[in-house]
Structure 1
Amino acid sequence: MSTRTGLWTTAAGVAVVAALGLLVANGVVWPNRILAARYDVRGVDVAHYQGQIDWDVLAAQDLDFAWIKATEGASHTDPRFAENWAAATKTDLLVGAYHFMSFESPGADQAAHLAAEVPATPGTLPPVIDLEFYGAFHDDPPTPDEVHTILGPLVAGIEEHYGVPPIVYATEDAYDLYLADRYPDLPIWIRSVAWSPRLSDGRDWTIWQYSNRDRMPGHDGVEPYIDMNVFAGTREELAALTLD
Protein backbone atom coordinates (compact mmCIF):
# COMPACT_ATOMS: atom_id res chain seq x y z
CA MET A 1 0.00 0.00 0.00
CA SER A 2 1.40 3.39 -0.97
CA THR A 3 1.79 6.19 1.55
CA ARG A 4 -0.77 8.27 -0.34
CA THR A 5 -3.30 5.42 -0.28
CA GLY A 6 -2.68 4.91 3.42
CA LEU A 7 -3.29 8.59 4.12
CA TRP A 8 -6.54 8.55 2.14
CA THR A 9 -7.69 5.42 3.99
CA THR A 10 -6.90 6.99 7.36
CA ALA A 11 -8.69 10.22 6.42
CA ALA A 12 -11.71 8.30 5.20
CA GLY A 13 -11.80 6.30 8.43
CA VAL A 14 -11.61 9.44 10.53
CA ALA A 15 -14.41 11.00 8.49
CA VAL A 16 -16.64 7.95 8.94
CA VAL A 17 -16.05 7.90 12.71
CA ALA A 18 -16.72 11.64 12.94
CA ALA A 19 -19.92 11.31 10.89
CA LEU A 20 -21.11 8.41 13.03
CA GLY A 21 -20.35 10.37 16.19
CA LEU A 22 -22.38 13.30 14.88
CA LEU A 23 -25.31 11.01 14.07
CA VAL A 24 -25.22 9.54 17.58
CA ALA A 25 -24.91 12.98 19.21
CA ASN A 26 -27.97 14.17 17.29
CA GLY A 27 -29.98 11.08 18.10
CA VAL A 28 -30.20 9.86 14.50
CA VAL A 29 -28.34 6.69 15.40
CA TRP A 30 -28.84 5.26 18.89
CA PRO A 31 -27.48 1.74 19.55
CA ASN A 32 -29.88 1.04 22.42
CA ARG A 33 -32.87 1.28 20.10
CA ILE A 34 -31.97 -2.15 18.75
CA LEU A 35 -31.74 -3.62 22.26
CA ALA A 36 -34.97 -1.94 23.38
CA ALA A 37 -36.92 -3.05 20.32
CA ARG A 38 -37.67 -6.43 21.91
CA TYR A 39 -39.99 -4.69 24.39
CA ASP A 40 -43.45 -3.86 23.11
CA VAL A 41 -44.58 -1.29 25.69
CA ARG A 42 -42.97 2.11 25.10
CA GLY A 43 -43.34 5.52 26.63
CA VAL A 44 -41.87 8.95 27.26
CA ASP A 45 -41.10 11.16 30.21
CA VAL A 46 -41.40 14.92 29.84
CA ALA A 47 -40.97 18.19 31.70
CA HIS A 48 -41.39 21.85 30.83
CA TYR A 49 -38.17 21.61 28.80
CA GLN A 50 -40.17 19.91 26.04
CA GLY A 51 -42.28 23.06 25.80
CA GLN A 52 -45.77 23.03 24.34
CA ILE A 53 -46.84 19.43 23.76
CA ASP A 54 -49.56 18.34 21.38
CA TRP A 55 -50.58 15.24 23.30
CA ASP A 56 -52.82 13.88 20.56
CA VAL A 57 -49.90 13.94 18.12
CA LEU A 58 -47.47 12.48 20.65
CA ALA A 59 -49.84 9.73 21.78
CA ALA A 60 -50.38 8.57 18.20
CA GLN A 61 -46.72 7.55 17.81
CA ASP A 62 -46.88 3.97 19.03
CA LEU A 63 -46.63 5.01 22.68
CA ASP A 64 -48.29 3.39 25.67
CA PHE A 65 -47.37 5.59 28.61
CA ALA A 66 -46.06 8.96 29.73
CA TRP A 67 -44.72 10.25 33.02
CA ILE A 68 -44.88 14.02 33.49
CA LYS A 69 -42.69 16.05 35.82
CA ALA A 70 -44.85 17.48 38.56
CA THR A 71 -42.74 18.62 41.51
CA GLU A 72 -39.24 19.07 42.81
CA GLY A 73 -38.17 19.29 46.43
CA ALA A 74 -40.63 20.71 48.95
CA SER A 75 -41.89 23.73 47.01
CA HIS A 76 -41.18 23.76 43.25
CA THR A 77 -43.86 22.75 40.74
CA ASP A 78 -43.09 22.25 37.06
CA PRO A 79 -44.69 25.22 35.28
CA ARG A 80 -46.27 23.02 32.62
CA PHE A 81 -47.44 20.21 34.87
CA ALA A 82 -51.12 21.15 35.14
CA GLU A 83 -51.39 21.78 31.40
CA ASN A 84 -49.60 18.53 30.50
CA TRP A 85 -51.58 16.47 33.02
CA ALA A 86 -54.94 17.75 31.81
CA ALA A 87 -54.14 17.09 28.16
CA ALA A 88 -52.30 13.78 28.54
CA THR A 89 -55.03 12.19 30.63
CA LYS A 90 -57.49 12.80 27.79
CA THR A 91 -55.50 10.50 25.47
CA ASP A 92 -55.26 6.72 25.43
CA LEU A 93 -51.88 6.86 27.17
CA LEU A 94 -51.34 5.51 30.66
CA VAL A 95 -50.22 8.65 32.49
CA GLY A 96 -48.32 9.28 35.72
CA ALA A 97 -46.42 12.07 37.47
CA TYR A 98 -42.86 12.21 38.73
CA HIS A 99 -41.18 14.04 41.57
CA PHE A 100 -37.54 15.12 41.44
CA MET A 101 -36.13 14.32 44.87
CA SER A 102 -34.10 17.01 46.61
CA PHE A 103 -31.26 16.20 48.98
CA GLU A 104 -31.96 19.49 50.75
CA SER A 105 -35.45 19.17 52.24
CA PRO A 106 -37.20 16.58 54.43
CA GLY A 107 -38.84 13.64 52.70
CA ALA A 108 -42.17 14.17 54.47
CA ASP A 109 -42.33 17.75 53.20
CA GLN A 110 -41.58 16.59 49.67
CA ALA A 111 -44.30 13.93 49.84
CA ALA A 112 -46.80 16.54 51.06
CA HIS A 113 -45.87 18.86 48.19
CA LEU A 114 -46.36 16.09 45.63
CA ALA A 115 -49.72 15.14 47.17
CA ALA A 116 -50.88 18.76 47.01
CA GLU A 117 -50.09 19.04 43.28
CA VAL A 118 -50.87 15.61 41.81
CA PRO A 119 -54.40 14.23 42.14
CA ALA A 120 -54.81 10.60 43.21
CA THR A 121 -56.87 9.85 40.12
CA PRO A 122 -57.93 6.22 39.64
CA GLY A 123 -56.40 4.70 36.52
CA THR A 124 -53.26 6.85 36.60
CA LEU A 125 -49.81 5.38 37.04
CA PRO A 126 -47.99 5.41 40.38
CA PRO A 127 -45.93 8.49 41.21
CA VAL A 128 -42.24 8.22 40.45
CA ILE A 129 -39.38 9.44 42.63
CA ASP A 130 -36.53 10.69 40.45
CA LEU A 131 -33.33 9.91 42.38
CA GLU A 132 -30.23 11.27 40.71
CA PHE A 133 -27.32 13.59 41.37
CA TYR A 134 -27.64 17.27 40.52
CA GLY A 135 -25.53 20.40 40.85
CA ALA A 136 -22.68 20.15 43.33
CA PHE A 137 -23.90 16.69 44.38
CA HIS A 138 -22.41 15.23 41.20
CA ASP A 139 -18.96 15.74 42.69
CA ASP A 140 -19.92 15.43 46.34
CA PRO A 141 -22.82 12.95 46.66
CA PRO A 142 -24.67 12.72 49.97
CA THR A 143 -24.03 9.61 52.02
CA PRO A 144 -26.45 6.67 51.88
CA ASP A 145 -27.59 7.43 55.41
CA GLU A 146 -28.37 11.04 54.48
CA VAL A 147 -30.36 9.92 51.45
CA HIS A 148 -32.30 7.20 53.27
CA THR A 149 -33.31 9.73 55.93
CA ILE A 150 -35.06 11.64 53.13
CA LEU A 151 -36.10 8.79 50.85
CA GLY A 152 -37.73 6.64 53.52
CA PRO A 153 -40.32 9.23 54.62
CA LEU A 154 -40.86 10.27 50.99
CA VAL A 155 -41.70 6.70 49.98
CA ALA A 156 -43.94 6.24 53.02
CA GLY A 157 -45.79 9.50 52.43
CA ILE A 158 -46.46 8.69 48.78
CA GLU A 159 -47.67 5.18 49.54
CA GLU A 160 -49.97 6.43 52.30
CA HIS A 161 -51.53 9.14 50.12
CA TYR A 162 -51.83 7.28 46.81
CA GLY A 163 -52.34 3.74 48.08
CA VAL A 164 -49.57 2.29 45.92
CA PRO A 165 -45.79 2.18 46.31
CA PRO A 166 -43.92 4.69 44.17
CA ILE A 167 -41.62 3.69 41.36
CA VAL A 168 -38.03 4.90 41.82
CA TYR A 169 -36.11 6.23 38.82
CA ALA A 170 -32.34 6.22 39.20
CA THR A 171 -29.14 6.50 37.25
CA GLU A 172 -26.91 3.47 37.54
CA ASP A 173 -24.53 5.30 39.89
CA ALA A 174 -27.37 6.42 42.15
CA TYR A 175 -28.84 2.92 42.12
CA ASP A 176 -25.55 1.35 43.20
CA LEU A 177 -25.05 3.88 45.99
CA TYR A 178 -28.56 4.15 47.40
CA LEU A 179 -30.87 1.38 46.17
CA ALA A 180 -28.88 -1.82 45.68
CA ASP A 181 -30.07 -4.46 48.15
CA ARG A 182 -32.62 -1.99 49.58
CA TYR A 183 -36.32 -1.22 49.08
CA PRO A 184 -37.09 -4.65 47.59
CA ASP A 185 -40.79 -3.88 47.10
CA LEU A 186 -40.28 -0.76 44.99
CA PRO A 187 -40.33 -1.04 41.18
CA ILE A 188 -37.13 0.30 39.62
CA TRP A 189 -36.88 2.57 36.60
CA ILE A 190 -33.25 2.53 35.53
CA ARG A 191 -31.49 4.99 33.23
CA SER A 192 -29.00 3.31 30.92
CA VAL A 193 -28.59 5.11 27.62
CA ALA A 194 -25.35 3.47 26.49
CA TRP A 195 -26.06 -0.23 27.03
CA SER A 196 -28.66 -2.71 28.20
CA PRO A 197 -29.13 -2.32 31.97
CA ARG A 198 -28.06 -4.92 34.49
CA LEU A 199 -28.65 -3.98 38.11
CA SER A 200 -25.65 -4.61 40.34
CA ASP A 201 -27.61 -6.64 42.92
CA GLY A 202 -29.24 -8.89 40.33
CA ARG A 203 -32.65 -7.30 40.71
CA ASP A 204 -35.04 -7.00 37.78
CA TRP A 205 -35.86 -3.56 36.46
CA THR A 206 -39.44 -2.55 35.68
CA ILE A 207 -38.81 0.38 33.32
CA TRP A 208 -35.72 1.17 31.30
CA GLN A 209 -34.88 4.62 29.98
CA TYR A 210 -32.85 3.64 26.95
CA SER A 211 -32.55 6.95 25.11
CA ASN A 212 -32.35 10.64 25.89
CA ARG A 213 -31.89 11.64 22.27
CA ASP A 214 -35.15 10.84 20.49
CA ARG A 215 -37.00 13.36 18.37
CA MET A 216 -40.76 13.15 17.94
CA PRO A 217 -43.40 15.36 16.38
CA GLY A 218 -45.68 16.89 18.95
CA HIS A 219 -43.36 18.92 21.17
CA ASP A 220 -41.47 22.15 20.66
CA GLY A 221 -39.34 23.37 23.55
CA VAL A 222 -35.84 24.46 24.47
CA GLU A 223 -35.00 20.75 24.70
CA PRO A 224 -35.29 19.29 21.18
CA TYR A 225 -35.02 15.70 22.42
CA ILE A 226 -37.37 13.49 24.37
CA ASP A 227 -36.57 10.55 26.67
CA MET A 228 -37.69 7.10 25.56
CA ASN A 229 -38.45 4.17 27.83
CA VAL A 230 -39.71 0.60 27.73
CA PHE A 231 -41.67 -1.44 30.26
CA ALA A 232 -40.64 -5.02 31.05
CA GLY A 233 -44.06 -6.53 30.48
CA THR A 234 -47.35 -6.10 28.67
CA ARG A 235 -49.54 -3.02 28.60
CA GLU A 236 -52.06 -4.94 30.69
CA GLU A 237 -49.37 -5.57 33.32
CA LEU A 238 -48.48 -1.88 33.36
CA ALA A 239 -52.14 -0.94 33.67
CA ALA A 240 -52.38 -3.27 36.66
CA LEU A 241 -50.01 -0.93 38.55
CA THR A 242 -52.39 2.04 38.29
CA LEU A 243 -54.25 3.63 41.17
CA ASP A 244 -57.62 2.16 42.19
Structure 2
Amino acid sequence: MRQVIRVAGRLLLVCLILAAAALAALAVLRWRGLLLLSHESNPEQWEVFGVDVSSYQGAVDWPVLADQGVDFAFIKATEGSTLRDGRFADNWAGAQAAGVRAGAYHFLSYDTPGETQADNFIDLVPVTEGALPPVVDIEFYGDYLENPPEKEHVRSILDPLLERLEAHYGVKPILYVTYRSYYLYLAGGGYGEYPIWCSSPTVFPLVPGWDFWQYSHTARLEGYDGSQDRIDLNIFRGSREQFQRFGLA
Protein backbone atom coordinates (compact mmCIF):
# COMPACT_ATOMS: atom_id res chain seq x y z
CA MET A 1 0.00 0.00 0.00
CA ARG A 2 2.81 2.43 0.89
CA GLN A 3 4.46 1.70 -2.46
CA VAL A 4 1.19 2.53 -4.25
CA ILE A 5 0.90 5.77 -2.28
CA ARG A 6 4.49 6.74 -3.14
CA VAL A 7 3.89 6.06 -6.85
CA ALA A 8 0.65 8.04 -6.78
CA GLY A 9 2.44 10.88 -5.05
CA ARG A 10 5.16 10.95 -7.68
CA LEU A 11 2.55 10.96 -10.46
CA LEU A 12 0.74 13.84 -8.80
CA LEU A 13 4.00 15.78 -8.52
CA VAL A 14 4.79 15.18 -12.19
CA CYS A 15 1.30 16.33 -13.16
CA LEU A 16 1.66 19.49 -11.11
CA ILE A 17 5.06 20.24 -12.68
CA LEU A 18 3.68 19.70 -16.19
CA ALA A 19 0.67 21.90 -15.45
CA ALA A 20 2.90 24.67 -14.12
CA ALA A 21 5.11 24.41 -17.21
CA ALA A 22 2.06 24.59 -19.49
CA LEU A 23 0.77 27.67 -17.70
CA ALA A 24 4.18 29.30 -17.96
CA ALA A 25 4.33 28.54 -21.68
CA LEU A 26 0.87 30.00 -22.21
CA ALA A 27 1.90 33.12 -20.30
CA VAL A 28 4.94 33.55 -22.56
CA LEU A 29 2.83 33.07 -25.69
CA ARG A 30 0.32 35.61 -24.42
CA TRP A 31 3.09 38.11 -23.63
CA ARG A 32 4.57 37.73 -27.12
CA GLY A 33 1.20 38.21 -28.76
CA LEU A 34 0.98 34.67 -30.10
CA LEU A 35 -2.00 33.74 -27.96
CA LEU A 36 -5.26 35.63 -27.93
CA LEU A 37 -7.94 35.50 -25.31
CA SER A 38 -11.23 34.01 -26.48
CA HIS A 39 -12.86 37.38 -27.08
CA GLU A 40 -9.79 38.62 -28.98
CA SER A 41 -9.79 35.70 -31.40
CA ASN A 42 -13.30 36.62 -32.53
CA PRO A 43 -12.99 39.46 -35.08
CA GLU A 44 -16.47 40.72 -34.22
CA GLN A 45 -15.28 41.67 -30.74
CA TRP A 46 -12.89 44.34 -32.00
CA GLU A 47 -13.87 48.00 -32.36
CA VAL A 48 -12.17 49.15 -35.56
CA PHE A 49 -12.79 47.45 -38.91
CA GLY A 50 -11.36 47.92 -42.37
CA VAL A 51 -10.97 46.60 -45.90
CA ASP A 52 -8.21 46.48 -48.47
CA VAL A 53 -8.89 47.20 -52.10
CA SER A 54 -7.27 47.40 -55.50
CA SER A 55 -8.42 47.81 -59.07
CA TYR A 56 -9.98 44.33 -58.79
CA GLN A 57 -12.84 45.89 -56.81
CA GLY A 58 -13.50 48.35 -59.63
CA ALA A 59 -15.22 51.64 -58.84
CA VAL A 60 -15.73 51.87 -55.07
CA ASP A 61 -18.64 53.76 -53.51
CA TRP A 62 -16.84 54.81 -50.34
CA PRO A 63 -19.87 56.29 -48.51
CA VAL A 64 -21.63 52.94 -48.96
CA LEU A 65 -18.65 51.09 -47.47
CA ALA A 66 -18.46 53.59 -44.62
CA ASP A 67 -22.16 53.05 -43.87
CA GLN A 68 -21.39 49.33 -43.42
CA GLY A 69 -18.93 50.05 -40.61
CA VAL A 70 -15.68 50.39 -42.55
CA ASP A 71 -13.36 52.62 -40.53
CA PHE A 72 -10.15 52.26 -42.55
CA ALA A 73 -8.87 50.97 -45.87
CA PHE A 74 -5.54 49.84 -47.21
CA ILE A 75 -5.46 50.83 -50.89
CA LYS A 76 -3.09 49.33 -53.44
CA ALA A 77 -0.81 51.94 -54.94
CA THR A 78 2.20 50.30 -56.57
CA GLU A 79 3.98 47.08 -57.37
CA GLY A 80 7.67 46.75 -58.03
CA SER A 81 9.49 49.62 -59.73
CA THR A 82 7.01 50.52 -62.48
CA LEU A 83 3.50 49.16 -61.92
CA ARG A 84 0.77 51.43 -60.52
CA ASP A 85 -2.81 50.63 -59.64
CA GLY A 86 -5.11 52.49 -62.01
CA ARG A 87 -7.75 53.04 -59.33
CA PHE A 88 -5.43 54.41 -56.67
CA ALA A 89 -6.07 58.14 -57.09
CA ASP A 90 -9.86 57.72 -57.10
CA ASN A 91 -9.77 55.37 -54.12
CA TRP A 92 -7.42 57.61 -52.14
CA ALA A 93 -9.58 60.68 -52.62
CA GLY A 94 -12.88 58.80 -52.23
CA ALA A 95 -11.92 57.12 -48.95
CA GLN A 96 -10.87 60.37 -47.34
CA ALA A 97 -13.97 62.21 -48.54
CA ALA A 98 -16.12 59.48 -46.93
CA GLY A 99 -14.28 59.66 -43.62
CA VAL A 100 -12.51 56.33 -44.09
CA ARG A 101 -8.92 56.51 -42.88
CA ALA A 102 -6.71 55.36 -45.74
CA GLY A 103 -3.28 53.82 -46.07
CA ALA A 104 -1.50 53.00 -49.33
CA TYR A 105 0.27 49.71 -49.91
CA HIS A 106 3.12 48.58 -52.13
CA PHE A 107 3.49 45.01 -53.37
CA LEU A 108 7.15 44.08 -52.93
CA SER A 109 8.97 42.72 -55.97
CA TYR A 110 11.97 40.44 -55.54
CA ASP A 111 13.19 41.35 -59.00
CA THR A 112 14.06 45.07 -58.83
CA PRO A 113 16.01 47.28 -56.40
CA GLY A 114 14.35 48.67 -53.30
CA GLU A 115 15.42 52.18 -54.18
CA THR A 116 13.51 52.24 -57.48
CA GLN A 117 10.50 50.60 -55.86
CA ALA A 118 10.51 53.41 -53.28
CA ASP A 119 10.65 55.98 -56.10
CA ASN A 120 7.60 54.42 -57.72
CA PHE A 121 5.57 54.61 -54.51
CA ILE A 122 6.71 58.11 -53.50
CA ASP A 123 5.93 59.51 -56.95
CA LEU A 124 2.33 58.30 -56.67
CA VAL A 125 1.31 58.50 -53.00
CA PRO A 126 1.08 62.01 -51.51
CA VAL A 127 2.09 62.82 -47.96
CA THR A 128 -1.36 63.15 -46.39
CA GLU A 129 -2.15 64.34 -42.89
CA GLY A 130 -3.89 61.66 -40.82
CA ALA A 131 -3.25 58.83 -43.28
CA LEU A 132 -2.17 55.42 -42.10
CA PRO A 133 1.53 54.64 -42.60
CA PRO A 134 2.60 53.24 -45.97
CA VAL A 135 2.53 49.46 -46.23
CA VAL A 136 5.02 47.06 -47.80
CA ASP A 137 3.30 43.81 -48.81
CA ILE A 138 5.71 40.87 -48.38
CA GLU A 139 4.34 37.71 -49.93
CA PHE A 140 5.03 35.32 -52.79
CA TYR A 141 4.14 35.25 -56.48
CA GLY A 142 4.95 33.29 -59.61
CA ASP A 143 7.85 30.86 -59.28
CA TYR A 144 8.57 32.24 -55.81
CA LEU A 145 5.51 30.42 -54.51
CA GLU A 146 7.45 27.17 -54.82
CA ASN A 147 10.98 28.56 -54.58
CA PRO A 148 11.03 31.54 -52.21
CA PRO A 149 14.04 33.84 -52.54
CA GLU A 150 16.87 33.76 -50.02
CA LYS A 151 16.60 35.90 -46.89
CA GLU A 152 19.70 37.95 -47.74
CA HIS A 153 18.34 38.79 -51.18
CA VAL A 154 14.97 39.87 -49.81
CA ARG A 155 16.52 42.05 -47.13
CA SER A 156 18.85 43.69 -49.65
CA ILE A 157 15.70 44.95 -51.42
CA LEU A 158 13.46 45.50 -48.40
CA ASP A 159 15.83 47.49 -46.20
CA PRO A 160 16.55 50.39 -48.58
CA LEU A 161 12.86 50.50 -49.51
CA LEU A 162 11.84 50.86 -45.86
CA GLU A 163 14.52 53.46 -45.19
CA ARG A 164 13.40 55.67 -48.05
CA LEU A 165 9.72 55.39 -47.21
CA GLU A 166 10.32 56.25 -43.56
CA ALA A 167 12.49 59.22 -44.50
CA HIS A 168 9.85 60.55 -46.90
CA TYR A 169 6.66 59.95 -44.89
CA GLY A 170 8.15 60.47 -41.43
CA VAL A 171 6.79 57.24 -39.95
CA LYS A 172 7.81 53.58 -39.96
CA PRO A 173 5.99 51.63 -42.69
CA ILE A 174 3.65 48.77 -41.86
CA LEU A 175 4.81 45.31 -42.93
CA TYR A 176 2.11 43.07 -44.44
CA VAL A 177 3.07 39.46 -43.88
CA THR A 178 1.87 35.92 -44.05
CA TYR A 179 3.00 33.39 -41.47
CA ARG A 180 5.47 32.05 -44.05
CA SER A 181 6.98 35.37 -45.13
CA TYR A 182 7.28 36.61 -41.55
CA TYR A 183 9.27 33.63 -40.32
CA LEU A 184 11.36 33.36 -43.47
CA TYR A 185 12.43 37.00 -43.64
CA LEU A 186 11.55 39.09 -40.60
CA ALA A 187 11.67 37.01 -37.41
CA GLY A 188 14.71 37.89 -35.32
CA GLY A 189 15.99 40.22 -37.99
CA GLY A 190 15.75 43.65 -36.41
CA TYR A 191 12.26 44.54 -37.68
CA GLY A 192 10.61 44.60 -34.26
CA GLU A 193 9.81 48.31 -34.35
CA TYR A 194 7.75 48.05 -37.54
CA PRO A 195 3.97 47.66 -37.25
CA ILE A 196 2.67 44.33 -38.52
CA TRP A 197 -0.41 43.63 -40.64
CA CYS A 198 -0.85 39.86 -40.70
CA SER A 199 -2.84 37.88 -43.23
CA SER A 200 -4.35 34.92 -41.41
CA PRO A 201 -7.86 34.07 -42.67
CA THR A 202 -10.07 32.30 -40.13
CA VAL A 203 -7.25 31.70 -37.60
CA PHE A 204 -5.80 34.29 -35.25
CA PRO A 205 -2.31 35.47 -36.30
CA LEU A 206 0.65 33.33 -35.23
CA VAL A 207 3.18 36.15 -35.40
CA PRO A 208 4.16 38.30 -32.42
CA GLY A 209 3.09 41.88 -31.88
CA TRP A 210 0.71 42.27 -34.80
CA ASP A 211 -1.33 45.47 -35.18
CA PHE A 212 -3.74 44.61 -38.01
CA TRP A 213 -5.31 41.26 -38.81
CA GLN A 214 -6.60 40.40 -42.28
CA TYR A 215 -9.07 37.77 -41.17
CA SER A 216 -11.12 37.13 -44.31
CA HIS A 217 -10.54 37.01 -48.07
CA THR A 218 -14.08 36.01 -48.97
CA ALA A 219 -16.43 38.69 -47.67
CA ARG A 220 -19.06 40.40 -49.76
CA LEU A 221 -20.08 43.99 -49.08
CA GLU A 222 -22.11 46.53 -50.98
CA GLY A 223 -20.34 49.37 -52.74
CA TYR A 224 -18.01 48.13 -55.49
CA ASP A 225 -18.48 46.75 -58.99
CA GLY A 226 -15.21 45.16 -60.08
CA SER A 227 -14.36 41.77 -61.50
CA GLN A 228 -13.68 40.54 -57.97
CA ASP A 229 -16.90 40.34 -55.99
CA ARG A 230 -15.10 39.42 -52.75
CA ILE A 231 -13.32 41.84 -50.47
CA ASP A 232 -10.77 41.38 -47.68
CA LEU A 233 -11.74 42.27 -44.12
CA ASN A 234 -9.40 43.50 -41.39
CA ILE A 235 -9.42 44.59 -37.78
CA PHE A 236 -7.15 46.89 -35.80
CA ARG A 237 -5.78 45.40 -32.61
CA GLY A 238 -6.80 48.07 -30.16
CA SER A 239 -9.43 50.55 -29.15
CA ARG A 240 -10.84 53.30 -31.31
CA GLU A 241 -8.84 55.85 -29.32
CA GLN A 242 -5.64 53.90 -29.94
CA PHE A 243 -6.45 53.70 -33.64
CA GLN A 244 -6.89 57.44 -33.88
CA ARG A 245 -3.36 57.87 -32.53
CA PHE A 246 -1.81 55.02 -34.46
CA GLY A 247 0.85 55.87 -37.00
CA LEU A 248 0.88 59.60 -36.43
CA ALA A 249 4.37 61.09 -36.67
TM-based fold match above 0.5:
yes
3-state secondary structure, aligned to 1:68: strand
1:63-119 CA distances to partner (integer Å, 9 max, x unpaired)? 210010000001110011011111111111111100001001111111111111000
Contact 1:71 1:98 in 2 (8 A): yes
Residue 54 of structure 1 pairs with residue 61 of structure 2: yes
Q: Does 1:123 align with 2:130?
A: yes
Contact kept in structure 1, 2:173 and 2:195, CA below 8 Å: yes
Give the letter for the 1:219 counterpart: Y
Q: Equivalents in 2 of 1:205, 1:45: separation in Å?
A: 17
- Gaps (5+ residues) in structure 2? 1-39
TM-score normalised by the chain length of structure 1: 0.83
SS in 2 for 1:227: strand
> Does 1:75 pair with 2:82?
yes
**Paired residue for 2:214?**
209
User: Normalization by structure 2: what TM-score?
Assistant: 0.81
> Does structure 2 conserve the Cα–Cα contact (< 8 Å) formed by 1:64 and 1:235?
no
Map 1:5-154 to 2 at 5 A: 35-154=42-161
- In structure 1, the residue matched to 2:240 is 235
Superposed CA offset, 1:178-200 (max 9, x none): 1112201001111101311121x
Identify if the C-alpha distance between structure 1 residues 217 and 34 changes in structure 2 by more than 3 Å, giving closer, same or farther: farther
Identical aligned pairs, as a percentage? 47
Q: CA–CA distance in 2 between the matches of 1:82 and 1:44?
A: 17
Equivalent position of 1:190 in the other structure: 198
The offset of 1:52, in angstroms, is 1.0
The equivalent of 2:184 in structure 1 is 177
Query: Which structure 1 residue ranges, 5 or more long, are not aligned?
Result: 1-32
Give the 4+ runs in structure 1 shifted more than 4 A: none
**Counterpart of 1:13?**
none
Aligned length: 209
The answer to whether the 8 Å contact 2:65/2:222 transfers is yes
**Secondary structure at 1:97's aligned position in 2?**
strand
Q: Which amino acid aligns with 1:198?
A: L
- CA distance, structure 2, for counterparts of residue 176 and residue 34 of structure 1: 21
In structure 2, C-alpha distance between the alignment counterparts of 1:170 and 1:103, rounded to whole Å? 15
Question: 1:236: how far off?
Answer: 2.4
